């Protein structure tokens, strides 16, 4: 039953992804004994990662718990598995067979902010995903004001982008980061790398 639920979630995310991004790129990861190369893949929201077993024994690409977004199952030599990442965040994963040997990796999904700079009063668009949040998921967005620390700004967001209105805000560098949040299990990805904008 758990596998059916996981497959259904994967199918839903893939369908939503395919509807939303015709210009997506694919990053390639090689699976050998006993490493993923590259160990960290950095992509944009909407891009995919394709794992290829280039080794001599079976491997898996399996999302870490508790989020458990994907599981390739056993990939024999030469086989591939592709997964689309629609939301900003960092997603650690492992090979089920060889995790104890250090076969782990991370997919880092960037977010976007536009324009990169503007005077006080500029409306900035912060894009944290390539699709609106699927049922059961939200995006938690944090902001770091000039001289401050990251604080919750728009947790529980369901839209793929939000607006930061800099009217009346101090000048300086603002940073934003986001994560994917499963509202039924409370599991989350790690936060994405920070994206900066400058209010001048």
**What does the domain layout of the chain look like in residue ranges?**
2-110, 112-199
Question: Tens digit of pLDDT for each residue in 50-82?
Answer: 999 999 999 999 999 999 999 999 999 999 999
Give whole-number Cα distances, 132 to 46, 139, 145, in Å.
11, 9, 26
What's the CATH code, domain 2-110? 2.60.40.420
Question: Comparing 2-110 with 112-199, is the CATH topology the same?
Answer: yes
What's the CATH code, domain 112-199? 2.60.40.10
Helices (H), the chain: 2-20
**pTM metric for this prediction:** 0.87
Q: Who wins on pLDDT, 6 or 167? A: 167
Least confident window among 10-14, 25-29, 50-54: 10-14
> In the chain, what are the helix, strand and coil shares in percent, each to the nearest 5?
10, 45, 40
Other Cβ atoms within 10 Å of 16 Cβ, number = 18
Other Cβ atoms within 10 Å of 18 Cβ, number = 12
């Amino acid at each position: 039953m758990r596998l059916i639920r996981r497959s259904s979630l994967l199918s839903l995310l893939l369908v939503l992804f395919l509807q939303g991004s015709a210009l997506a790129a694919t990053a390639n990861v090689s699976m050998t004994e006993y490493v993923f190369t590259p160990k960290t893949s950095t992509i944009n929201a909407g891009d995919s990662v394709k794992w290829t077993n280039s080794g001599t024994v079976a491997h898996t690409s399996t999302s870490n718990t508790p989020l458990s977004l994907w599981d390739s199952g056993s990939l024999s030599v030469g086989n591939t598995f592709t997964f689309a990442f629609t939301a900003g965040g960092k997603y650690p994963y492992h090979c089920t067979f060889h995790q104890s040997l250090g076969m782990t990796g991370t997919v880092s999904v960037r977010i976007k902010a536009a324009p990169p700079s503007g005077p006080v009063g500029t409306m900035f668009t912060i894009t944290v995903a390539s699709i609106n949040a699927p049922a059961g998921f939200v995006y938690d967005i944090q902001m770091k004001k000039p001289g401050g620390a990251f604080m919750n700004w728009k947790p529980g967001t369901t839209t793929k982008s939000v607006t930061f209105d800099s009217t009346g805000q101090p000048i300086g560098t603002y940073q934003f980061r986001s994560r994917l949040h499963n509202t039924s299990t409370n599991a989350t990805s790690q936060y994405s790398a920070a994206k900066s904008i400058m209010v001048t």
